[in-house]
Amino acid sequence: MYGPRHRLGDTPVRETKDGRSEIRNWLARAAVAGLIALIAVQAAAGHRSTAGHLLVASQTMSDPRFAETVILMIEHDETGALGLVVNRPLGAVPVARLLERLGERPNPNALNAIQGDIAVHAGGPVEPGRVFILHSPDVMAGGSKTVAEEVAVTVESEMLLLIGQGAGPKDRIFVTGYSGWGPGQLDEELARADWAVVPADRDLIFATNPGKTWLEALSRRGIDL
């Protein structure tokens, strides 16, 4: 029968003739459990959030979907990560057309007043029907959230209305889809040096020539090409 229970781990220790064998087994199990706990603590302590920074694909990036990409990170914690590619332009689209596609139906007078185009970018391979607007913080809509210095994001169509009415922010891009990672996935890619991390920069995010953004971002980390 079992002897008295020991509170350390609430693991019963079977008494043997000399009392040593089961104690050694229990100590071994306790050591393994302690090692697992230590690894978990170290992993949590080693997590480095990239939210508010730019990920720059390395020259050895093996995933063709992310080759030569620059991604503004919106979220990154132990549950996963989400970012928006900022250098994959698809072209300029009239703001009025985007509003119609999003199901927004302003009154005819307001719709006639909506003018201008907005640059559309592919933000990543996940949920291409999901849309975001990255913009400078000189004008903030109701759903705008600051994600980096001089950069905000919103998913509200109110911002499109403001842009179409000439009252929008100075810098803005319309982004479709996003780049997503599961728990720990991005941390593994960072450990493999798949990405460089650089400070977010308004000039890179809203670059007039996105074709040069990747090289410019790499040069800011001093990477020798």
Task: Read off the pLDDT of residues 138-189 as tens digits, 9 standing for 90 and up.
Answer: 999 989 999 999 999 999 999 999 999 999 999 999 999 999 999 999 999 9
Q: Give the range among 34-38, 51-55, 100-104, 180-184 with minimum mean pLDDT.
A: 34-38
pLDDT for position 111: 66
Higher pLDDT, 12 or 113: 113
- C-alpha 81: how far from chain center: 4
pTM of the model: 0.76
Is the predicted pLDDT of residue 92 greater than 60, yes or no? yes
- Over residues 127-142, mean pLDDT: 95
CA 85 – CA 91 distance, rounded (Å): 14
Element (H, E) at 132: strand 126-135
Give the closest residue to 158 by CA, choosing from 179, 178, 172: 172
Kind of pairing between the strands at 151-154 and 70-77:
unpaired
pLDDT for position 220: 85
- The C-alpha angle with vertex 150 and arms to 169 and 49, in degrees rounded to 5, equals 130
